[in-house]
Chains A and B, each alone.
Chain A
C-alpha cells in the first residue's frame, strides 16, 4: 500500500489500538493533523497548552495501563512538553510523544520553529528517535511503542520532520521490533527467587516495601496473595498507593518523609526489608546510613540499574514483579511473626494519622476524608503537588491500583488537572477528582476549557490555604516562620514582612468560582465544615465539571514529617519539634 507518512502514522496508531491522542497543531504538523481529519477511530483532544497534552497522555496511561500518545509541533510545541516527559520519565510512565520537526533539509539551520528536540529530551526520555528516511517510519514507530511499554516502562519520543509526513512510502507495519541493544529481563532467576524465600523464612521481623513497580507490572493480586499466605506487613511508597489495599490489616500506611509513624518505625526496626518495584528514593530513606539499620535487603526490580544504586542489596532479583511474586507465592508458607505483628499493632494504636477535628475550623484533612466517604473510596484521584498531595496520600484509603494519579518523582505542580482529563477519557464512567492546591491548579488552569469542551464530568477540589503551603510549612519549621515568597494573597501594598494571615488580607486572586463559570463549569465556594459533604455529593452527582474552592485553615501542616536528611524514625509534628531537632 503506497501512502504518505502522515497517513502511515494514522494506520500505525490504529494498529497500536490508540483511541485518543492529545495535542496541539502547528506549521510542520499540519499534514499530520490533516490525516486525522476524517478518521473515526481516533479521538483528538486538543488541549490549551502542550504541557496539558502530555500530562493528559500521562494520566491516560497511569489510569489505564495503556500508552498515552501526544502529538505536538516543532520548536515551542516540543519544548513545552519537556516537563511532561520528565514527569513521566521519573515515574516510569509509558508515553509515545510525537513531535513535528522542520524538514530534513533545514535541520541545523536555525530554521523557523526549529529546536534540537532529540538533544533536549534525551535525558528525560527512555529513548528517542528522529526519522530521517520516510521508509524507516514504520519500524521506528513499532520500536517506540515497544520500548515505551516493556521493561521499565517510560516515555519515548519520535521526532518527525515535515517532509517525512508528506513523502510517499510503501507502507507495511512490521510484525516484530528490531532493537539489538534492548532485551529486558522479565522472568526472575529461579535460584535467586529460592534464595529470597530462604531469607524470608529466616526473618523474624520482615517487611515489604513496595512501589510503583507493582502497579506498572500489574502485580497487585500477586502481592495480595503473597501477603495473605505469609502475613508479612506492607508499607507502600507514594507511587505504590493502591497496589495493596489501604484497608487491610497488613497495611502500615505510606513510608518516608510524610509516612506514618508505624511504617517508619517498622522500617527502622525490621530485620528484613523486601523492596519490590521501589527505588530507595531519598524521600523514602531519609538519612541513608541510618535507613533500616537492622535489616537485610531484598530488592526485586525490573531495572538492574535500580538495584544497588543507593543501598547495598543482599539478595537482588531482576525481573517483572508480577512474575516473581507469582513464583514466590508458590514457595510461600505462613510465617511465625505474631510478635512482630503485635509490635506493629501497638504503634498503629499509639500513632494513628490524626489532625484536630474537634472545632469548627475547616481543615484540608477533613475535606479529603469527606471525599473518601462520599466517593465510597472508589474514585480516581489525581493530585497537584505539595500539601494537597500528601494529605490525599494520607487520608484517602486507596484500595485499587491506578486509582491515585500523582507526580511522585518530579513533583510537578500543574500535573493533576490535565492528568484528570486523561484519566476521565480512559474511564468515562468513573468519578475523577483532582485534589488541588490553590497554587498548583493555576499552572495548568487553562485546561478547564478542554474539560468543558469535551464535557468531562471532572471535579476539582481546591484545598485553598492561600499559600504555597508545602514551602510555607518548611519555612515555619526550619526558617523561623519567614514566609518569603509563599503567600498567594500578597499584593503590592502588603507589609514587606508578614507571617500572620488574617481578616485584613486582600482577597485571593483569581476568584475560582467566577473562573469556573467563565469556563462553563460549576463553581462552589465552601467555607464551613458543615457544607463540605453536601457540596461533594452534589459535585459527584452532576455530569458537569465542578470546581470546589474549599477555604481551609491557612497554616495547617502535613504531619508527621521527617526533616530532610534525618533518619526516618525521627519525625516531627510542629515548629517546636523542628527547633528541638535543629538544636539536637
Chain B
C-alpha cells in the first residue's frame, strides 16, 4: 500500500553522506518529497528528516539499507510514532496597497509574520504542519503567489524517547 513515511536519520556530519543517502532513494526510483538537514547538539552528527511516499515493503527495505550505511548512526521511522512535525514556508504574494489589509488578517489567523513588504508584494512567514501550510497556500492563491520557499518538515517524537546523540549513543 502506498503511503507517506517520515523518517528521521542521525548521520555522520561529513561531505558525501547526503549524496550517498540520496543515491539510495534515487537508485530505487524514489522521489524524496521533503528533506531537511541540520547539525545536532553534537557537531559530529547531523539529523535529517526525510519524507517519502511509497509501498510498505519497499520503504521497509530502504530503512534496512539506510541502517546498513556506515555513515548512518540511527534510523527512526516516525510514521507511526506520536511525533511533532513543523515546517516553515516563506510565501510571496502580489498585493496592491489597498488589499494588504486582507493579507494581514490571513497572516494573523495563521499565526504568521510579515517579513517583507514592497509596493506590490508582501512576504509571509508561517510555521506549522503540512495541512496548515497547504491551507495557507490555497487561501493565498487567488491573490497571485509569486514565489514559495518551503523547508520541508522537521520532526521529533513526543515524550522521552530519542534518536540518540551526545552521550547516549
A residues sitting closer than 8 Å to B (CB atoms) are 118-119, 122-123, 126-127, 130, 147, 179-182, 303-305, 308-309
B169 touches A180 (CB 8 A): yes
Indicate whether A305 sits within 8 Å of B65 (C-beta atoms), given known contacts A180-B169, A181-B73. Answer: yes
Q: Which of B15-23, B117-125, B128-136, B139-147 contacts A (4 or more CB under 8 A)?
A: B15-23
A127-B71, A304-B68 are known; give 16 further A-B pairs, CB within 8 A: A119-B19, A122-B19, A122-B23, A123-B27, A147-B70, A180-B12, A180-B73, A180-B169, A181-B74, A182-B70, A303-B68, A305-B61, A305-B64, A305-B67, A305-B68, A308-B57
- B68 vs chain A, min Cβ distance (A): 5
Contacts of B12 in A (CB 8 A): 180-181
- Using an 8 Å CB-CB cutoff, how does the interface string of B87-105 with A read, 1 for contact, 0 for none? 0000000000000000000
Candidate in B60, B64, B67 with the most chain A CB atoms within 10 angstroms: B64
Contacts of A119 in B (CB 8 A): 16, 19
Among candidates B27, B60, B65, B71, residue contacting A181 with C-beta atoms closer than 8 Å: B71
A304 touches B70 (CB 8 A): no
Distance A181 CA – B73 CA, assembled complex (angstroms): 4
A122 touches B16 (CB 8 A): yes
9 CB < 8 A contacts A-B: A122-B23, A130-B16, A181-B12, A181-B69, A182-B70, A304-B68, A305-B61, A305-B67, A308-B61
User: B72 at the A/B interface (Cβ < 8 Å)?
Assistant: yes
Distance A304 CA – B64 CA, assembled complex (angstroms): 7
Contacts of B68 in A (CB 8 A): 303-305
Contacts of B69 in A (CB 8 A): 181
Contacts of A180 in B (CB 8 A): 12, 73, 169
Among candidates B20, B60, B65, B169, residue contacting A122 with C-beta atoms closer than 8 Å: B20
Contacts of A130 in B (CB 8 A): 16
In this complex, what residue of B is CB-closest to A182? Answer: B70
- B58 vs chain A, min Cβ distance (A): 10
Distance A126 CA – B68 CA, assembled complex (angstroms): 9
B72 touches A181 (CB 8 A): yes
Q: Which 8 pairs across A and B sit closest by C-beta, in order of nearness? A: A305-B64, A181-B73, A127-B70, A182-B70, A305-B65, A305-B68, A181-B70, A181-B72
Contacts of B73 in A (CB 8 A): 180-181
B71 touches A309 (CB 8 A): no
Distance A303 CA – B169 CA, assembled complex (angstroms): 22
Distance A123 CA – B65 CA, assembled complex (angstroms): 12
B64 touches A179 (CB 8 A): no
- B118 vs chain A, min Cβ distance (A): 38
Distance A90 CA – B64 CA, assembled complex (angstroms): 17
- B59 vs chain A, min Cβ distance (A): 12
User: What count of chain B residues pass the 8 Å CB interface test?
Assistant: 21
Distance A130 CA – B17 CA, assembled complex (angstroms): 12
Contacts of A127 in B (CB 8 A): 70-71
Distance A123 CA – B72 CA, assembled complex (angstroms): 15
In this complex, what residue of A is CB-closest to B71? Answer: A181
Contacts of A304 in B (CB 8 A): 64, 67-68
B61 touches A309 (CB 8 A): yes
Distance A127 CA – B64 CA, assembled complex (angstroms): 16
**Residues of chain B in range 1-23 having any CB-CB distance to chain A below 8 Å:** 11-12, 16, 19-20, 23
Contacts of A309 in B (CB 8 A): 61, 64
Distance A147 CA – B69 CA, assembled complex (angstroms): 11
Contacts of A308 in B (CB 8 A): 57, 60-61
Distance A469 CA – B41 CA, assembled complex (angstroms): 60
Distance A303 CA – B71 CA, assembled complex (angstroms): 16
- B60 vs chain A, min Cβ distance (A): 7
Distance A280 CA – B169 CA, assembled complex (angstroms): 34
B23 touches A123 (CB 8 A): yes
Contacts of B11 in A (CB 8 A): 181
In this complex, what residue of B is CB-closest to A309? Answer: B61
In this complex, what residue of A is CB-closest to B60? Answer: A308
A179 touches B27 (CB 8 A): no
Distance A118 CA – B70 CA, assembled complex (angstroms): 14
Indicate whether A179 sits within 8 Å of B23 (C-beta atoms), given known contacts A122-B16, A308-B60. Answer: no
Contacts of B57 in A (CB 8 A): 308
Contacts of B74 in A (CB 8 A): 181
- Using an 8 Å CB-CB cutoff, how does the interface string of B28-50 with A read, 1 for contact, 0 for none? 00000000000000000000000
In this complex, what residue of A is CB-closest to B74? Answer: A181
Distance A179 CA – B23 CA, assembled complex (angstroms): 22
Candidate in B19, B64, B68, B73 with the most chain A CB atoms within 10 angstroms: B68
In this complex, what residue of A is CB-closest to B62? Answer: A305
In this complex, what residue of A is CB-closest to B63? Answer: A305
In this complex, what residue of B is CB-closest to A184? Answer: B68
Distance A119 CA – B72 CA, assembled complex (angstroms): 17
Distance A384 CA – B74 CA, assembled complex (angstroms): 41
Distance A188 CA – B122 CA, assembled complex (angstroms): 61
Distance A127 CA – B70 CA, assembled complex (angstroms): 7
Candidate in B70, B71, B72 with the most chain A CB atoms within 10 angstroms: B70
In this complex, what residue of A is CB-closest to B10? Answer: A181
A118 touches B169 (CB 8 A): no
Distance A14 CA – B27 CA, assembled complex (angstroms): 38
Contacts of A182 in B (CB 8 A): 70
Contacts of B169 in A (CB 8 A): 180
Distance A181 CA – B74 CA, assembled complex (angstroms): 7
Distance A169 CA – B16 CA, assembled complex (angstroms): 25
Distance A307 CA – B68 CA, assembled complex (angstroms): 13
Contacts of B27 in A (CB 8 A): 123
Distance A423 CA – B147 CA, assembled complex (angstroms): 62
Contacts of B72 in A (CB 8 A): 181
In this complex, what residue of A is CB-closest to B58? Answer: A309
Contacts of A123 in B (CB 8 A): 23, 27
In this complex, what residue of B is CB-closest to A180? Answer: B73
- A216 vs chain B, min Cβ distance (A): 16
Distance A179 CA – B72 CA, assembled complex (angstroms): 10
- B163 vs chain A, min Cβ distance (A): 13
In this complex, what residue of B is CB-closest to A119? Answer: B19
Distance A179 CA – B12 CA, assembled complex (angstroms): 10
Contacts of A179 in B (CB 8 A): 70
Among candidates A118, A126, A147, residue contacting B16 with C-beta atoms closer than 8 Å: A118
Distance A303 CA – B70 CA, assembled complex (angstroms): 13
- B126 vs chain A, min Cβ distance (A): 36
In this complex, what residue of A is CB-closest to B169? Answer: A180
Candidate in A130, A179, A305 with the most chain B CB atoms within 10 angstroms: A305
Distance A207 CA – B23 CA, assembled complex (angstroms): 37
Distance A6 CA – B68 CA, assembled complex (angstroms): 31
- A7 vs chain B, min Cβ distance (A): 27
Distance A126 CA – B67 CA, assembled complex (angstroms): 13
In this complex, what residue of B is CB-closest to A143? Answer: B70
- B10 vs chain A, min Cβ distance (A): 9
